[in-house]
A and B are shown apart, each in its own frame.
Chain A
Amino acid sequence: AGPEVVSGPAAQPDCFAPWSADTKFFKYPKKEGPFRIAFSNGYIANTWRIQMVQTAKAYAAQPDVKAKIKEFKVVSTGEDVPAQISAINNFIDSGYDAIVTDAQNPTAFGPVIKRAKEAGIVLVAFDNILDTKDAINVNVDQKGLGELWAKWLVEKVPNGGKILEVRGVAGTSVDTDRHNGIHEVLDASGKKWDVTEVAGKWDDGVAQKVTADAIATNGPFDGITGQGGDTGIVQAMIDAKHPFVPFGGETENGFRKFCAQHSADGLKCTSAGSGPAQVAVAIKTAIAALEGEVVPQEVKLPLAIASDPDMKEGTDYFPKESDNFFVGNSFPTCGINFSAQEIMGQTKADQ
């Protein structure tokens, strides 16, 4: 009872952009709304995920979306993969029309994907996507992100030099993809690069610590790239009185604040990443699929990029706000325009 494979383009081609030229397109049998949609999240205890869950709720509450949804259920199961698999199994057994997931493991969901397909349920993964051709994946280009950061460094450090690469959580595909992207570009540049790799675990504290260590023993560096915890990395540079150098990093507001503040001193940044609002795109995709529209099997989201010298106060960073949220939260091509403040602030007003 799976979808029909059809030829493109997708129904809303600006938003549902196929990953590559050979991406397949799906057309599911049209169903009558309103739909029962379930969302299976894994881990929840970081800001990115909280912002993501809030965005999901806000999106589902928008009048036009709400009209199409009969029930929107969210379950967060923690870090444990089997618990998430079971949650999805339960959703399947309970007859939801579509299941959206941020998966703890890309390869572990084979049996679930099979069952969902047999039951005719639309399964959409985003952020941590699934390694499959039988469900829909929505994501930013993680490897492209690494490439982007490396290109920035190649451009700003034209003669090659010493680079500090602060990586994420070992063993995740996100970390690997980004790392590979970085190194492919650096290698291809033909310059001589001396890269010091440390693991910052996408966490400011950890990243700051390992950066401080690296500066003390292997510094100074000519350029830096960080996958996350970038506020901490800059902080460590400041604490160690390390000169400001070009930096390719994520979209944390704190990082961007630093970039804007110290741009003149040499902290030339490009900041891009995976916005938590992809969840809204994923839900949107699920609804489109249920309505029988043509959707690509892999949806590629644009990176929300802001680079020196074009970082604008009030759109790209917010000096008065927390360091801790990810600014890139809107996907205009999909009509998803939440700002992070709106998301995190809105509920504050509700309480």
Chain B
Amino acid sequence: MKDWRYLLAEQRGTLLALGIFIVMFIIYTTNHPAGFTANVVQTAANKGVLLAFVAMAQTLVVITAGIDLSVGMILLLTNCLASWLVVGTPLETTLGVIAVLAAGLVCGAINGAIVIYGRLQPIVATIATGAVYYGIGLLLRPFPGGSVNEDLADALTGKLFDVIPTSLVALLVVVLVVWVPFSRSEFGRAAYAAGSSETAAYMSGVPIRRGKFIAYALAGVLASVGGLFLTFFTYTGEAAYASGNSYTLFSIAAVVLGGVSLFGGKGSAIGAIFGALAFRTIGDLLFVFDFDPLWQPLFQGVILLIAVSLGAFALFRVRNRLEWFL
């Protein structure tokens, strides 16, 4: 029958996010003094990719109908760790990268274990673990500093063939290596199933716990990829509390803009990536429009408010009021 219709329906959230992003990005680049140049794209990409990783991490957890309020802190912690470990010879650097990813994995796994086996509500559990991760980050970097293998950092934040931002390529690789296999695996499906209806999934013999656990653990890994990129981008580690919190909150905004349902079971990390890029472009718009600096926070707030309200227009098409309630 009309397969493409089903396909379209499945991808609607992602496509909407893509649409919002493209419109915003066009507005941005056409008004940018330097125009649509490789440099401008690279700058935007480096900044956007960071949030995209964190948003992907958040997506995995949100799909299970959970939420991870510690992603930002895992980002900070792994950033601090990377600023110690990702240095030296190529071999040392490689080991360092592995160690950082492993740390992210451990953080995510702890979250997962507490939520799944400890049966705690994810919001508070991750508020608490977030404090712990931040504390460890602060132990590692009481004040900003450290360094990173600059060759690797430059390579990953630079441009491929002088045009394509390497960070975007890295993002693509992570999507292919982490997201695609996960979402198509039995465990990924279990994560979706658990998020959509945990009882039904349990009754159907779905490996819910493992699915959810893997989602949380991979979220930790993705956040640590974000932490690595933060290090590549800044050459340092810093345990900046406010910044960790804002990454967490931004990741939620990105996920929602990306069409991932906070109620679980629905959405894709690809959507969340575009959500993240769109969200970042809101900030960029400040640059091209001449706003009084005092008005800038308000402008950003209002754009965010409008963006999150966009989805509400679908509401006017709802003819059966019961559909308001899920």
Contact = CB atoms under 8 A, between A and B. Distances in A.
Do A and B belong to a common assembly? yes
Interface of A: 39, 41, 43-45, 50, 53-54, 57, 73-83, 85-87, 89-90, 93-95, 104-111, 131, 169-173, 176
Contacts of A108: 144, 233-236, 238
B145 A107 contact: yes
B32 A111 contact: no
**SS class, residues of chain B in contact with chain A:** helix
Contact of B234 (A43, A85, A87): A85
B39 to A, nearest CB: 5
Given A80-B243, A93-B33, A108-B234, 16 more contacts: A44-B294, A50-B294, A76-B286, A77-B283, A78-B246, A82-B46, A83-B47, A89-B43, A90-B287, A105-B234, A107-B144, A109-B234, A111-B153, A171-B239, A171-B241, A176-B143
A171 B32 contact: no
A105 to B, nearest CB: 5
Contacts of A105: 144, 234, 236, 238, 240
B157 interface: yes
B201 interface: no
B208 interface: no
A171 B37 contact: no
B216 interface: no
Contacts of A83: 47, 280, 283
Contacts of A43: 242
Nearest to A53: B293
Interface string B130-149: 00000000100111111000
A75 B50 CA distance: 20
B287 A93 contact: no
A85 B234 CA distance: 8
Nearest to B33: A94
Nearest to B145: A107
Contacts of B243: 79-81, 104
A171 B145 contact: no
A87 B157 CA distance: 15
B254 interface: no
Interface in B29-82: 32-34, 37, 39-40, 43-44, 46-47, 50
Contacts of A89: 39, 43
Ranked 3 nearest A-B pairs via Cβ: A108-B234, A74-B293, A94-B33
Given A79-B243, A81-B234, A108-B235, A90 B40 contact: yes
> By CB atoms of chain B within 10 A, which of A87, A169, A170, A171 has the most?
A171
B43 A79 contact: no
A111 to B, nearest CB: 7
A79 to B, nearest CB: 4
Interface residues of B, number: 45
> By CB atoms of chain A within 10 A, which of B40, B143, B145 has the most?
B143
B47 A171 contact: no
Contacts of A90: 32, 34, 40, 43, 284, 287
A195 to B, nearest CB: 18
B287 A44 contact: no
A171 B143 CA distance: 4
Contact of B144 (A79, A93, A106): A106
B230 interface: yes
Contacts of B46: 82, 86
Nearest to B235: A110
A53 B293 CA distance: 8
B277 to A, nearest CB: 13
Nearest to A36: B33
A41 B49 CA distance: 22
A93 B293 contact: no
22 contacts: A41-B293, A43-B242, A74-B293, A76-B297, A77-B283, A78-B283, A79-B243, A81-B240, A83-B47, A85-B233, A89-B43, A94-B34, A105-B236, A107-B234, A107-B235, A108-B144, A110-B234, A111-B233, A131-B145, A171-B141, A171-B240, A173-B143
Contact of A111 (B157, B238, B247): B157
Given A85-B234, A107-B235, A76 B293 contact: yes
> By CB atoms of chain B within 10 A, which of A77, A108, A176 has the most?
A108
A61 to B, nearest CB: 13
Contacts of B286: 75-77
B240 A86 contact: no
A229 to B, nearest CB: 16
Interface in B173-211: none
Nearest to B280: A83
A348 to B, nearest CB: 13
Interface in B229-275: 230, 233-236, 238-243, 246-247
Contact of B142 (A50, A78, A110, A171): A171
Contacts of A74: 292-293
B209 to A, nearest CB: 35
Given A90-B43, A93-B39, A111-B157, A44 B296 contact: yes
Given A105-B236, A108-B236, A110-B235, A170 B138 contact: yes
A89 B142 CA distance: 28
Contacts of A169: 241
Contacts of B47: 82-83, 85-86
A81 B33 CA distance: 23
